[in-house]
Chains A and B, each alone.
Chain A
Amino acid sequence: MSVSAPSRISGIGRLTPFRAQRIWEHNYIAYRRLWKVVFSGFFEPVFYLFSVGVGIGALVGDVSGPGGVPVSYAAFVAPALMAASAMNGAVIETTFNIFFKLRFQNVYEGILTTPMQPADIAIGEIGWALLRGVLYSSTFIIVMVVMGLTTSWLAILAIPGSVLVGFAFGAVGLAATTYMRSWQDFDLVTLATMPMFLFSGTFYPLDVYPPAIQLVAKISPLYHGTELLRGFTLGVLDWTMLVHALFLLVMGLIGAAIANRRLDAMLRK
Protein backbone atom coordinates (compact mmCIF):
# COMPACT_ATOMS: atom_id res chain seq x y z
CA MET A 1 0.00 0.00 0.00
CA SER A 2 1.30 3.37 -0.85
CA VAL A 3 0.65 6.00 1.73
CA SER A 4 1.91 9.03 -0.05
CA ALA A 5 -0.13 8.39 -3.16
CA PRO A 6 -2.17 11.57 -3.26
CA SER A 7 -5.57 10.47 -2.01
CA ARG A 8 -6.48 14.12 -1.76
CA ILE A 9 -4.75 17.41 -1.37
CA SER A 10 -6.38 20.37 0.17
CA GLY A 11 -5.35 22.96 -2.36
CA ILE A 12 -3.63 26.06 -1.14
CA GLY A 13 -6.10 28.80 -0.54
CA ARG A 14 -8.77 26.37 0.53
CA LEU A 15 -8.00 27.06 4.18
CA THR A 16 -10.79 28.56 6.20
CA PRO A 17 -9.54 31.82 7.70
CA PHE A 18 -11.56 31.41 10.88
CA ARG A 19 -10.85 28.07 12.45
CA ALA A 20 -11.49 28.40 16.18
CA GLN A 21 -14.40 26.03 15.64
CA ARG A 22 -11.85 23.24 15.14
CA ILE A 23 -11.05 23.56 18.83
CA TRP A 24 -14.74 23.20 19.61
CA GLU A 25 -14.84 20.11 17.45
CA HIS A 26 -11.89 18.69 19.34
CA ASN A 27 -13.48 19.45 22.69
CA TYR A 28 -16.79 18.05 21.58
CA ILE A 29 -15.15 14.74 20.67
CA ALA A 30 -13.29 14.63 23.97
CA TYR A 31 -16.34 15.60 26.02
CA ARG A 32 -18.60 12.98 24.56
CA ARG A 33 -16.95 10.64 27.03
CA LEU A 34 -16.87 13.18 29.85
CA TRP A 35 -20.49 14.27 29.83
CA LYS A 36 -20.94 13.14 33.44
CA VAL A 37 -18.32 15.63 34.59
CA VAL A 38 -20.07 18.38 32.69
CA PHE A 39 -23.45 17.29 33.94
CA SER A 40 -22.45 17.54 37.59
CA GLY A 41 -21.82 21.28 37.26
CA PHE A 42 -25.49 21.78 36.56
CA PHE A 43 -26.57 20.69 40.04
CA GLU A 44 -24.60 23.11 42.17
CA PRO A 45 -26.71 26.23 41.53
CA VAL A 46 -29.87 24.14 41.79
CA PHE A 47 -28.85 22.98 45.26
CA TYR A 48 -28.16 26.57 46.29
CA LEU A 49 -31.49 27.64 44.92
CA PHE A 50 -33.39 25.05 46.95
CA SER A 51 -31.42 25.52 50.17
CA VAL A 52 -30.75 29.24 50.30
CA GLY A 53 -33.33 30.58 47.87
CA VAL A 54 -36.30 28.51 48.89
CA GLY A 55 -35.26 27.50 52.43
CA ILE A 56 -33.96 30.77 53.78
CA GLY A 57 -36.43 32.55 51.53
CA ALA A 58 -39.22 31.07 53.66
CA LEU A 59 -37.80 32.94 56.67
CA VAL A 60 -37.00 36.14 54.83
CA GLY A 61 -40.14 36.67 52.81
CA ASP A 62 -40.08 39.34 50.12
CA VAL A 63 -37.09 41.57 49.58
CA SER A 64 -36.67 44.75 47.62
CA GLY A 65 -35.45 43.92 44.13
CA PRO A 66 -34.08 46.17 41.38
CA GLY A 67 -35.80 49.54 41.32
CA GLY A 68 -37.22 48.86 44.78
CA VAL A 69 -39.85 46.42 43.49
CA PRO A 70 -40.58 43.75 46.13
CA VAL A 71 -39.79 40.23 44.93
CA SER A 72 -39.65 36.84 46.57
CA TYR A 73 -36.25 36.02 48.05
CA ALA A 74 -35.83 33.01 45.74
CA ALA A 75 -36.49 35.23 42.70
CA PHE A 76 -33.86 37.63 44.03
CA VAL A 77 -31.18 34.98 44.52
CA ALA A 78 -31.86 32.90 41.40
CA PRO A 79 -30.37 35.26 38.75
CA ALA A 80 -27.25 35.61 40.89
CA LEU A 81 -26.89 31.84 40.95
CA MET A 82 -27.41 31.83 37.22
CA ALA A 83 -24.57 34.31 36.76
CA ALA A 84 -22.37 32.29 39.12
CA SER A 85 -23.05 29.12 37.15
CA ALA A 86 -21.90 30.81 33.95
CA MET A 87 -18.81 32.03 35.77
CA ASN A 88 -18.00 28.62 37.25
CA GLY A 89 -18.47 26.75 34.01
CA ALA A 90 -16.18 29.12 32.14
CA VAL A 91 -13.54 29.25 34.87
CA ILE A 92 -13.33 25.48 35.38
CA GLU A 93 -12.96 25.05 31.66
CA THR A 94 -10.19 27.56 31.06
CA THR A 95 -8.16 26.85 34.19
CA PHE A 96 -8.03 23.18 35.21
CA ASN A 97 -8.65 21.67 31.80
CA ILE A 98 -6.35 23.92 29.86
CA PHE A 99 -3.50 23.89 32.33
CA PHE A 100 -3.02 20.17 31.85
CA LYS A 101 -2.99 20.41 28.08
CA LEU A 102 -0.73 23.43 28.10
CA ARG A 103 1.90 22.40 30.62
CA PHE A 104 2.09 18.65 30.50
CA GLN A 105 0.72 17.29 27.27
CA ASN A 106 2.07 19.86 24.85
CA VAL A 107 -1.15 19.41 22.91
CA TYR A 108 -1.15 22.97 21.66
CA GLU A 109 2.41 22.78 20.39
CA GLY A 110 1.27 19.93 18.20
CA ILE A 111 -1.75 21.84 17.00
CA LEU A 112 0.46 24.74 15.95
CA THR A 113 2.37 22.51 13.53
CA THR A 114 -0.87 22.42 11.50
CA PRO A 115 -2.42 25.48 9.83
CA MET A 116 -3.91 26.43 13.22
CA GLN A 117 -2.61 29.59 14.90
CA PRO A 118 -2.40 30.74 18.53
CA ALA A 119 -5.39 33.06 18.07
CA ASP A 120 -7.49 30.11 16.89
CA ILE A 121 -6.64 28.32 20.12
CA ALA A 122 -7.34 31.35 22.31
CA ILE A 123 -10.65 32.15 20.63
CA GLY A 124 -11.62 28.49 20.45
CA GLU A 125 -10.97 27.72 24.09
CA ILE A 126 -12.59 30.92 25.36
CA GLY A 127 -15.57 30.24 23.14
CA TRP A 128 -15.85 26.70 24.41
CA ALA A 129 -15.62 27.87 28.01
CA LEU A 130 -18.33 30.37 27.32
CA LEU A 131 -20.48 27.60 25.87
CA ARG A 132 -20.04 25.50 28.98
CA GLY A 133 -20.99 28.44 31.16
CA VAL A 134 -24.02 29.17 29.03
CA LEU A 135 -25.02 25.52 29.08
CA TYR A 136 -25.26 25.75 32.87
CA SER A 137 -26.92 29.12 32.96
CA SER A 138 -29.50 28.27 30.33
CA THR A 139 -30.47 24.97 31.93
CA PHE A 140 -30.70 26.83 35.20
CA ILE A 141 -33.03 29.47 33.80
CA ILE A 142 -35.37 26.68 32.77
CA VAL A 143 -35.54 25.63 36.42
CA MET A 144 -36.24 29.25 37.28
CA VAL A 145 -39.07 29.49 34.77
CA VAL A 146 -40.60 26.25 36.01
CA MET A 147 -40.46 27.55 39.58
CA GLY A 148 -42.00 30.82 38.56
CA LEU A 149 -38.97 32.87 39.50
CA THR A 150 -38.90 34.89 36.30
CA THR A 151 -41.41 37.67 36.21
CA SER A 152 -41.04 38.93 32.66
CA TRP A 153 -40.46 37.87 29.08
CA LEU A 154 -37.31 39.95 29.25
CA ALA A 155 -35.87 37.01 31.20
CA ILE A 156 -34.91 35.49 27.86
CA LEU A 157 -32.27 38.23 27.61
CA ALA A 158 -30.57 36.74 30.66
CA ILE A 159 -29.17 34.07 28.34
CA PRO A 160 -27.20 36.50 26.16
CA GLY A 161 -26.36 38.22 29.43
CA SER A 162 -24.79 35.03 30.72
CA VAL A 163 -22.86 34.76 27.44
CA LEU A 164 -21.13 37.97 28.47
CA VAL A 165 -20.42 36.54 31.92
CA GLY A 166 -18.99 33.37 30.39
CA PHE A 167 -16.90 35.37 27.95
CA ALA A 168 -15.46 37.67 30.62
CA PHE A 169 -14.54 34.85 32.98
CA GLY A 170 -13.43 32.42 30.29
CA ALA A 171 -11.06 34.99 28.79
CA VAL A 172 -9.60 36.09 32.10
CA GLY A 173 -9.40 32.46 33.24
CA LEU A 174 -7.39 31.53 30.16
CA ALA A 175 -5.10 34.52 30.60
CA ALA A 176 -4.55 33.55 34.25
CA THR A 177 -3.79 29.94 33.34
CA THR A 178 -0.90 31.00 31.14
CA TYR A 179 0.76 32.42 34.27
CA MET A 180 0.24 29.31 36.37
CA ARG A 181 3.17 27.07 37.11
CA SER A 182 1.85 24.34 39.38
CA TRP A 183 -1.36 22.85 40.64
CA GLN A 184 -0.97 24.85 43.85
CA ASP A 185 -1.65 27.99 41.87
CA PHE A 186 -5.18 26.78 41.40
CA ASP A 187 -5.92 27.55 45.04
CA LEU A 188 -5.74 31.15 43.88
CA VAL A 189 -8.58 30.50 41.46
CA THR A 190 -10.78 29.34 44.30
CA LEU A 191 -9.53 32.21 46.40
CA ALA A 192 -10.78 34.59 43.73
CA THR A 193 -14.09 32.99 42.78
CA MET A 194 -15.30 32.00 46.25
CA PRO A 195 -15.49 35.48 47.81
CA MET A 196 -16.81 36.80 44.52
CA PHE A 197 -19.63 34.35 44.76
CA LEU A 198 -20.39 35.36 48.35
CA PHE A 199 -20.03 39.13 48.14
CA SER A 200 -21.33 40.15 44.72
CA GLY A 201 -24.83 40.95 45.87
CA THR A 202 -25.65 37.29 45.42
CA PHE A 203 -27.65 36.68 48.57
CA TYR A 204 -28.59 40.22 49.65
CA PRO A 205 -28.42 43.70 48.15
CA LEU A 206 -25.07 45.41 48.49
CA ASP A 207 -26.58 48.39 50.35
CA VAL A 208 -26.31 46.52 53.65
CA TYR A 209 -22.65 47.61 53.54
CA PRO A 210 -21.24 51.09 54.09
CA PRO A 211 -20.49 52.88 50.77
CA ALA A 212 -16.72 52.25 50.95
CA ILE A 213 -17.18 48.49 51.08
CA GLN A 214 -19.88 48.66 48.46
CA LEU A 215 -17.33 50.22 46.16
CA VAL A 216 -14.99 47.26 46.65
CA ALA A 217 -17.77 44.80 45.91
CA LYS A 218 -18.62 46.69 42.75
CA ILE A 219 -15.21 45.92 41.33
CA SER A 220 -16.16 42.25 41.37
CA PRO A 221 -17.03 41.24 37.81
CA LEU A 222 -19.58 38.82 39.14
CA TYR A 223 -21.44 41.73 40.70
CA HIS A 224 -21.91 43.19 37.24
CA GLY A 225 -23.05 39.83 35.92
CA THR A 226 -25.49 39.39 38.77
CA GLU A 227 -27.01 42.84 38.42
CA LEU A 228 -27.33 42.43 34.67
CA LEU A 229 -29.12 39.09 34.87
CA ARG A 230 -31.28 40.20 37.79
CA GLY A 231 -32.56 43.13 35.80
CA PHE A 232 -33.52 40.80 32.98
CA THR A 233 -35.13 37.99 34.95
CA LEU A 234 -37.13 40.43 37.06
CA GLY A 235 -38.00 42.54 34.06
CA VAL A 236 -36.64 45.81 35.41
CA LEU A 237 -34.49 47.55 32.84
CA ASP A 238 -32.19 50.34 33.85
CA TRP A 239 -29.43 52.23 32.07
CA THR A 240 -26.85 50.95 34.61
CA MET A 241 -27.28 47.55 33.01
CA LEU A 242 -25.51 48.95 30.00
CA VAL A 243 -22.56 49.72 32.24
CA HIS A 244 -22.61 46.18 33.62
CA ALA A 245 -22.67 44.70 30.14
CA LEU A 246 -19.89 46.98 29.01
CA PHE A 247 -17.78 46.10 32.04
CA LEU A 248 -18.04 42.39 31.22
CA LEU A 249 -17.35 42.95 27.55
CA VAL A 250 -14.23 45.01 28.18
CA MET A 251 -13.00 42.55 30.79
CA GLY A 252 -13.44 39.73 28.30
CA LEU A 253 -11.68 41.58 25.49
CA ILE A 254 -8.72 42.47 27.68
CA GLY A 255 -8.51 38.90 28.97
CA ALA A 256 -8.66 37.50 25.45
CA ALA A 257 -5.95 39.85 24.21
CA ILE A 258 -3.64 38.90 27.07
CA ALA A 259 -4.38 35.19 26.65
CA ASN A 260 -3.65 35.41 22.94
CA ARG A 261 -0.35 37.23 23.45
CA ARG A 262 0.76 34.89 26.21
CA LEU A 263 -0.12 31.74 24.31
CA ASP A 264 1.76 32.99 21.29
CA ALA A 265 4.83 33.75 23.38
CA MET A 266 4.69 30.43 25.20
CA LEU A 267 4.04 28.20 22.24
CA ARG A 268 6.14 29.87 19.57
CA LYS A 269 9.57 30.26 21.14
Chain B
Amino acid sequence: MTDTLVEARGLTKRFDDLTAVDGIDFDIHQGEAFGFLGPNGAGKTSTMKMITTVSPITEGKLTVFGLDPTTQGRSIRQRIGVVPQEDNLDLELTVSENLYIYGRYHDMSRAEINPRITELLEFAQLSDRRDSTVEPLSGGMKRRLTIARALINDPDLIILDEPTTGLDPQARHLLWDRLYRLKRDGATLIITTHYMDEAEQLCDRLVVMDQGKIVAEGSPRELIEQYAPREVLELRFDDEQRDDAVIKMDGVAARSEVLADRVLLYTDDADDTQRALHDRGVHPEQVLVRRSTLEDVFLRLTGRRLID
Protein backbone atom coordinates (compact mmCIF):
# COMPACT_ATOMS: atom_id res chain seq x y z
CA MET B 1 0.00 0.00 0.00
CA THR B 2 1.23 3.46 -0.81
CA ASP B 3 1.39 6.10 1.87
CA THR B 4 -1.68 8.28 2.12
CA LEU B 5 -0.68 11.92 2.51
CA VAL B 6 -4.13 13.45 2.49
CA GLU B 7 -7.31 11.73 3.55
CA ALA B 8 -10.75 13.35 3.47
CA ARG B 9 -14.05 11.86 4.57
CA GLY B 10 -17.27 13.78 4.34
CA LEU B 11 -15.24 16.96 4.10
CA THR B 12 -17.56 19.96 4.16
CA LYS B 13 -17.11 23.71 4.02
CA ARG B 14 -19.98 26.11 4.50
CA PHE B 15 -19.95 29.90 4.29
CA ASP B 16 -23.09 31.00 6.12
CA ASP B 17 -25.79 29.15 4.20
CA LEU B 18 -23.69 28.47 1.11
CA THR B 19 -22.19 24.99 0.93
CA ALA B 20 -18.94 25.37 -0.98
CA VAL B 21 -17.70 21.81 -0.37
CA ASP B 22 -20.37 19.24 0.20
CA GLY B 23 -19.17 16.11 1.95
CA ILE B 24 -16.37 14.90 -0.29
CA ASP B 25 -14.12 11.85 0.15
CA PHE B 26 -10.68 11.41 -1.37
CA ASP B 27 -7.23 9.95 -0.68
CA ILE B 28 -4.05 11.40 -2.05
CA HIS B 29 -1.03 9.13 -2.08
CA GLN B 30 2.67 9.74 -1.79
CA GLY B 31 4.30 10.58 -5.11
CA GLU B 32 1.22 11.09 -7.23
CA ALA B 33 -0.12 14.14 -9.01
CA PHE B 34 -3.72 14.50 -7.96
CA GLY B 35 -6.09 16.83 -9.77
CA PHE B 36 -9.25 18.68 -8.84
CA LEU B 37 -11.10 19.56 -12.01
CA GLY B 38 -14.21 21.67 -12.06
CA PRO B 39 -15.91 24.84 -13.24
CA ASN B 40 -15.97 28.18 -11.41
CA GLY B 41 -17.41 27.88 -7.95
CA ALA B 42 -17.10 24.08 -7.81
CA GLY B 43 -15.31 24.31 -4.47
CA LYS B 44 -11.74 23.61 -5.58
CA THR B 45 -10.11 26.55 -3.83
CA SER B 46 -12.16 25.99 -0.69
CA THR B 47 -10.86 22.41 -0.61
CA MET B 48 -7.26 23.55 -1.15
CA LYS B 49 -7.56 26.06 1.67
CA MET B 50 -8.74 23.40 4.07
CA ILE B 51 -5.81 21.18 3.11
CA THR B 52 -3.38 24.05 3.63
CA THR B 53 -4.99 24.53 7.06
CA VAL B 54 -5.82 28.21 6.45
CA SER B 55 -9.55 27.56 6.27
CA PRO B 56 -11.25 25.81 9.19
CA ILE B 57 -13.25 22.69 8.33
CA THR B 58 -16.99 22.96 8.84
CA GLU B 59 -17.66 19.24 9.02
CA GLY B 60 -16.15 15.87 8.24
CA LYS B 61 -12.66 14.53 8.65
CA LEU B 62 -9.41 15.64 7.09
CA THR B 63 -5.86 14.55 7.79
CA VAL B 64 -2.69 15.75 6.09
CA PHE B 65 0.43 13.62 6.74
CA GLY B 66 -1.81 11.92 9.28
CA LEU B 67 -2.02 15.20 11.22
CA ASP B 68 -5.10 17.17 12.17
CA PRO B 69 -5.28 20.57 10.42
CA THR B 70 -7.25 22.10 13.29
CA THR B 71 -4.68 21.44 15.98
CA GLN B 72 -1.48 20.67 14.07
CA GLY B 73 -1.69 23.25 11.32
CA ARG B 74 1.79 24.54 11.93
CA SER B 75 3.45 21.15 11.56
CA ILE B 76 1.47 20.54 8.38
CA ARG B 77 2.36 23.91 6.89
CA GLN B 78 6.00 23.30 7.60
CA ARG B 79 5.93 20.44 5.10
CA ILE B 80 3.81 21.88 2.31
CA GLY B 81 4.34 24.38 -0.48
CA VAL B 82 1.38 26.46 -1.62
CA VAL B 83 0.78 28.19 -4.94
CA PRO B 84 -2.42 30.19 -4.41
CA GLN B 85 -4.93 30.94 -7.14
CA GLU B 86 -4.14 34.65 -6.99
CA ASP B 87 -0.50 35.68 -6.94
CA ASN B 88 0.37 37.23 -3.60
CA LEU B 89 4.03 37.98 -4.15
CA ASP B 90 5.46 40.65 -1.94
CA LEU B 91 5.76 43.77 -4.08
CA GLU B 92 7.93 45.46 -1.48
CA LEU B 93 10.65 42.88 -2.01
CA THR B 94 12.84 41.77 -4.90
CA VAL B 95 12.63 38.38 -6.58
CA SER B 96 15.31 36.80 -4.40
CA GLU B 97 14.05 38.50 -1.24
CA ASN B 98 10.63 36.98 -1.84
CA LEU B 99 12.25 33.57 -1.69
CA TYR B 100 14.51 34.48 1.20
CA ILE B 101 11.76 35.66 3.51
CA TYR B 102 9.69 32.53 2.90
CA GLY B 103 12.72 30.51 3.86
CA ARG B 104 12.85 32.53 7.06
CA TYR B 105 9.15 31.95 7.71
CA HIS B 106 10.08 28.28 7.56
CA ASP B 107 12.89 28.85 10.05
CA MET B 108 15.63 28.05 7.58
CA SER B 109 19.01 29.67 8.19
CA ARG B 110 20.64 32.07 5.74
CA ALA B 111 23.22 29.40 4.93
CA GLU B 112 20.44 26.97 4.05
CA ILE B 113 18.42 29.48 2.07
CA ASN B 114 21.02 31.09 -0.17
CA PRO B 115 22.05 28.05 -2.22
CA ARG B 116 18.40 27.11 -2.42
CA ILE B 117 17.54 30.51 -3.93
CA THR B 118 20.14 30.08 -6.66
CA GLU B 119 18.85 26.61 -7.42
CA LEU B 120 15.21 27.66 -7.49
CA LEU B 121 15.77 30.74 -9.61
CA GLU B 122 17.46 28.55 -12.14
CA PHE B 123 14.59 26.10 -12.00
CA ALA B 124 12.11 28.92 -12.54
CA GLN B 125 14.29 30.51 -15.26
CA LEU B 126 14.50 33.72 -13.31
CA SER B 127 18.21 33.80 -12.51
CA ASP B 128 18.73 37.02 -14.45
CA ARG B 129 15.89 38.72 -12.54
CA ARG B 130 17.29 37.91 -9.15
CA ASP B 131 17.51 41.50 -7.93
CA SER B 132 14.62 42.88 -9.91
CA THR B 133 11.47 44.03 -8.15
CA VAL B 134 8.42 41.86 -8.65
CA GLU B 135 6.11 44.44 -10.21
CA PRO B 136 7.55 44.48 -13.76
CA LEU B 137 7.63 40.68 -14.13
CA SER B 138 5.30 39.12 -16.69
CA GLY B 139 2.38 36.97 -15.55
CA GLY B 140 4.27 33.79 -16.38
CA MET B 141 7.36 34.94 -14.49
CA LYS B 142 5.30 35.84 -11.44
CA ARG B 143 3.68 32.44 -11.53
CA ARG B 144 7.05 30.72 -11.77
CA LEU B 145 8.35 32.81 -8.91
CA THR B 146 5.32 31.83 -6.84
CA ILE B 147 6.05 28.19 -7.57
CA ALA B 148 9.73 28.65 -6.69
CA ARG B 149 8.67 30.30 -3.44
CA ALA B 150 6.44 27.34 -2.63
CA LEU B 151 9.46 25.04 -3.01
CA ILE B 152 11.82 26.94 -0.72
CA ASN B 153 11.25 24.57 2.21
CA ASP B 154 11.61 21.49 0.03
CA PRO B 155 8.00 20.48 0.71
CA ASP B 156 6.71 16.93 0.78
CA LEU B 157 3.42 18.08 -0.71
CA ILE B 158 2.90 20.90 -3.21
CA ILE B 159 -0.54 22.42 -3.62
CA LEU B 160 -1.13 24.38 -6.80
CA ASP B 161 -4.42 26.23 -7.28
CA GLU B 162 -4.86 26.91 -10.99
CA PRO B 163 -1.16 27.23 -11.66
CA THR B 164 -1.52 28.22 -15.30
CA THR B 165 -4.75 30.20 -15.50
CA GLY B 166 -4.28 33.42 -17.43
CA LEU B 167 -1.00 32.45 -19.04
CA ASP B 168 -0.29 32.28 -22.75
CA PRO B 169 0.29 28.81 -24.26
CA GLN B 170 4.04 29.15 -24.25
CA ALA B 171 4.14 30.14 -20.58
CA ARG B 172 1.78 27.28 -19.77
CA HIS B 173 3.98 24.75 -21.46
CA LEU B 174 7.03 25.99 -19.61
CA LEU B 175 5.13 25.65 -16.33
CA TRP B 176 3.91 22.19 -17.21
CA ASP B 177 7.47 21.20 -17.89
CA ARG B 178 8.54 22.44 -14.45
CA LEU B 179 5.68 20.67 -12.72
CA TYR B 180 6.45 17.54 -14.64
CA ARG B 181 10.03 17.66 -13.39
CA LEU B 182 8.87 18.04 -9.80
CA LYS B 183 6.69 15.02 -10.22
CA ARG B 184 9.46 13.02 -11.81
CA ASP B 185 11.67 13.87 -8.84
CA GLY B 186 9.13 12.32 -6.52
CA ALA B 187 7.09 15.27 -5.26
CA THR B 188 3.42 14.81 -4.45
CA LEU B 189 1.33 17.39 -6.27
CA ILE B 190 -2.24 18.57 -5.83
CA ILE B 191 -3.38 20.62 -8.79
CA THR B 192 -6.68 22.35 -9.44
CA THR B 193 -7.55 23.37 -12.95
CA HIS B 194 -10.27 24.25 -15.42
CA TYR B 195 -8.18 22.92 -18.25
CA MET B 196 -8.74 19.37 -19.34
CA ASP B 197 -5.48 19.23 -21.24
CA GLU B 198 -3.66 20.30 -18.10
CA ALA B 199 -5.31 17.57 -16.06
CA GLU B 200 -4.61 14.99 -18.76
CA GLN B 201 -0.99 16.06 -19.01
CA LEU B 202 -0.14 16.30 -15.35
CA CYS B 203 -2.47 14.24 -13.22
CA ASP B 204 -2.17 10.57 -12.37
CA ARG B 205 -5.57 10.64 -10.76
CA LEU B 206 -8.20 13.27 -10.48
CA VAL B 207 -11.63 14.04 -9.20
CA VAL B 208 -14.20 16.04 -11.10
CA MET B 209 -16.02 18.47 -8.82
CA ASP B 210 -19.27 20.23 -9.47
CA GLN B 211 -21.23 22.34 -7.02
CA GLY B 212 -19.23 21.17 -4.07
CA LYS B 213 -19.52 17.47 -4.86
CA ILE B 214 -17.23 14.94 -6.46
CA VAL B 215 -19.01 13.64 -9.52
CA ALA B 216 -16.32 11.29 -10.83
CA GLU B 217 -12.94 9.96 -9.88
CA GLY B 218 -10.13 8.06 -11.59
CA SER B 219 -7.16 8.44 -13.89
CA PRO B 220 -7.75 10.64 -16.95
CA ARG B 221 -7.77 7.52 -19.16
CA GLU B 222 -10.18 5.66 -16.89
CA LEU B 223 -12.56 8.58 -16.78
CA ILE B 224 -12.54 8.97 -20.52
CA GLU B 225 -13.04 5.25 -21.03
CA GLN B 226 -15.80 5.11 -18.49
CA TYR B 227 -17.71 8.20 -19.43
CA ALA B 228 -16.94 8.94 -23.04
CA PRO B 229 -16.57 6.62 -26.03
CA ARG B 230 -13.21 6.74 -27.71
CA GLU B 231 -13.79 9.23 -30.48
CA VAL B 232 -15.76 12.39 -30.99
CA LEU B 233 -17.14 13.85 -34.18
CA GLU B 234 -17.67 17.57 -33.98
CA LEU B 235 -20.15 18.67 -36.59
CA ARG B 236 -21.05 22.20 -37.64
CA PHE B 237 -24.14 23.02 -39.62
CA ASP B 238 -25.81 25.91 -41.38
CA ASP B 239 -28.40 27.40 -39.07
CA GLU B 240 -31.30 26.24 -41.29
CA GLN B 241 -30.06 22.70 -41.68
CA ARG B 242 -29.24 22.12 -38.07
CA ASP B 243 -32.62 21.19 -36.59
CA ASP B 244 -33.36 18.89 -39.48
CA ALA B 245 -29.95 17.21 -39.19
CA VAL B 246 -30.35 16.71 -35.45
CA ILE B 247 -33.54 14.75 -36.10
CA LYS B 248 -31.96 12.66 -38.84
CA MET B 249 -28.96 11.83 -36.68
CA ASP B 250 -31.01 10.39 -33.86
CA GLY B 251 -29.45 7.14 -32.71
CA VAL B 252 -26.54 7.21 -35.11
CA ALA B 253 -23.95 7.39 -32.32
CA ALA B 254 -23.70 6.02 -28.80
CA ARG B 255 -24.40 9.49 -27.46
CA SER B 256 -24.76 13.03 -28.75
CA GLU B 257 -24.60 16.52 -27.33
CA VAL B 258 -26.21 19.45 -29.07
CA LEU B 259 -24.26 22.60 -28.19
CA ALA B 260 -24.91 26.15 -29.26
CA ASP B 261 -22.35 26.12 -32.02
CA ARG B 262 -21.93 22.45 -32.87
CA VAL B 263 -23.13 18.91 -32.37
CA LEU B 264 -20.92 16.30 -30.74
CA LEU B 265 -21.29 12.62 -31.56
CA TYR B 266 -19.57 10.10 -29.29
CA THR B 267 -18.59 6.86 -30.93
CA ASP B 268 -16.09 4.04 -30.80
CA ASP B 269 -15.47 4.22 -34.53
CA ALA B 270 -15.63 7.61 -36.21
CA ASP B 271 -15.35 6.20 -39.75
CA ASP B 272 -18.39 3.99 -39.27
CA THR B 273 -20.38 6.85 -37.89
CA GLN B 274 -19.40 9.14 -40.73
CA ARG B 275 -20.56 6.56 -43.22
CA ALA B 276 -23.84 6.21 -41.37
CA LEU B 277 -24.33 9.97 -41.46
CA HIS B 278 -23.78 9.97 -45.18
CA ASP B 279 -26.33 7.18 -45.61
CA ARG B 280 -28.89 9.18 -43.69
CA GLY B 281 -28.31 12.20 -45.88
CA VAL B 282 -26.69 14.36 -43.19
CA HIS B 283 -24.16 16.75 -44.69
CA PRO B 284 -22.46 18.97 -42.12
CA GLU B 285 -20.60 22.13 -43.11
CA GLN B 286 -17.58 20.97 -41.22
CA VAL B 287 -16.51 17.71 -39.58
CA LEU B 288 -13.76 17.32 -37.03
CA VAL B 289 -12.75 13.95 -35.64
CA ARG B 290 -10.85 13.88 -32.38
CA ARG B 291 -10.19 11.64 -29.42
CA SER B 292 -12.48 12.25 -26.51
CA THR B 293 -11.11 14.27 -23.62
CA LEU B 294 -11.92 15.06 -20.04
CA GLU B 295 -14.03 17.92 -21.29
CA ASP B 296 -16.32 15.34 -22.82
CA VAL B 297 -16.39 13.48 -19.54
CA PHE B 298 -17.41 16.63 -17.79
CA LEU B 299 -20.09 17.40 -20.32
CA ARG B 300 -21.42 13.93 -19.89
CA LEU B 301 -21.44 14.14 -16.12
CA THR B 302 -22.97 17.56 -15.71
CA GLY B 303 -24.52 18.45 -19.04
CA ARG B 304 -22.44 21.59 -18.99
CA ARG B 305 -19.13 22.66 -20.41
CA LEU B 306 -16.29 23.46 -18.08
CA ILE B 307 -15.38 26.84 -19.48
CA ASP B 308 -18.27 28.90 -20.73
Contact = CB atoms under 8 A, between A and B. Distances in A.
28 contacts: A2-B185, A3-B185, A5-B185, A7-B116, A7-B154, A9-B154, A10-B108, A12-B78, A15-B74, A19-B105, A22-B101, A25-B101, A26-B93, A26-B104, A105-B90, A105-B91, A106-B88, A109-B84, A110-B82, A110-B84, A110-B89, A110-B90, A112-B54, A113-B54, A113-B77, A115-B75, A117-B73, A267-B54
A129 to B, nearest CB: 16
Interface residues of B, number: 46
A186 to B, nearest CB: 19
A111 interface: yes
B77 to A, nearest CB: 5
Contacts of B122: 1
Given A15-B78, A105-B91, A4 B186 contact: yes
B228 interface: no
A1 B123 contact: yes
Contacts of A5: 185
Given A267-B54, A269-B15, A115 B78 contact: yes
A130 B102 CA distance: 24
Interface of B: 15, 49, 52, 54-56, 73-75, 77-80, 82, 84, 86, 88-93, 97, 100-102, 104-108, 112, 115-116, 119-120, 122-123, 151, 153-154, 181-182, 185-187
Chain A CB within 10 Å, residue with most, of B15, B78, B122, B186: B78
B115 A4 contact: no
A12 to B, nearest CB: 6
Interface string A102-131: 000111011111111100000000000000
Contacts of B101: 22, 25-26, 29
Contact of A10 (B80, B86, B107, B186): B107
Given A4-B187, A107-B90, A109-B84, A114 B56 contact: no
A182 interface: no
Nearest to A30: B92
Given A6-B154, A10-B153, A25-B104, 9 more contacts: A8-B112, A10-B106, A12-B78, A15-B75, A22-B105, A112-B54, A113-B84, A267-B54, A268-B56
A268 B93 contact: no
Contacts of B112: 7-8, 10
